[in-house]
Structure 1
């Protein structure tokens, strides 16, 4: 059997804040999950995203250390419907949406409108759309 990518996991310091941020990106996570130490959501293609508190991770890996913000080895990228949506979502997430501004929207040389916002734990989240 060939292994297949099934879940992307994120370690979070504040479950409620992290889930609120990702709900604004369209992930369907019930409100009662805010108090759980481990949460999962399944996307339309079956890929799961999971959130674990630092305490859960340290329960099986006591020496785990948080990377510096912006120094992630894994980044999430969300496809937007238009360049205007990239701009609007970046503005929302980096002001009232629980995220932190990292790289303001720009027209990338590869033909996309692109921006990067940091989630509540400093993880890089890219927002992109094809330039018309």
Structure 2
């Protein structure tokens, strides 16, 4: 049996707010999806990203609770250039999203920044330094 990772799922407290964040990162999720308790979006290469409200999760797992402590998983979005890392980070912060780490030149050769989505998940922004 061959396993294939093909869906990344995110549990959200507020679907419209979460989808608005990911639209700012370039995902073309129709605004009509804001009212749905489960949303899936196809990504290039065959992967999908899905969002479920807390209520949806509770419908089949009544004891579910958000994890406590630090995050263990982050989503990473590649930007076209180091300047784009700075621009996207600044746009997200100006829109009211929390910055975890302002842009910096990482020792591994990338311009990097980390913001939190509305549910506190780490979202990395990066571009290879020339």
Residue 54 of structure 1 is matched in structure 2 by: 54
Structure 1 position 73, deviation (Å): 2.0
Q: TM-score, structure 2 length as denominator?
A: 0.96
Q: Which runs of 5+ in 1 are unaligned?
A: none
Alignment partner of 1:116 out of 114, 117, 122: 114
Q: Is the 8 A contact 1:68 1:122 kept in 2?
A: no
Q: Which runs of 5+ in 2 are unaligned?
A: none
- Which residue matches 1:80? 79
Cα RMSD (Å) of the superposition? 1.1
The 1:68–1:99 alpha-carbon spacing in structure 2 relative to 1, beyond 3 Å, is farther
Matches within 5 A, 1:18-97: 18-68=18-68, 71-96=70-95
Instruction: Please give the per-residue CA displacement for 1:14-49, whole angstroms capped at 9, x wherever unaligned.
Output: 000000100111111111000100000001111000
* Contact 1:101-1:117 within 8 A present in 2 as well: yes
Calculate the TM-score normalised by the size of structure 1. 0.94
Structure 1 residue 68 displacement after superposition? 4.0
Deviation of residue 94 (structure 1)? Answer: 1.8
Cα distance between partner residues in 2 of 1:89 and 1:72: 22
Q: Distance in 2 between matches of 1:99 and 1:68?
A: 20
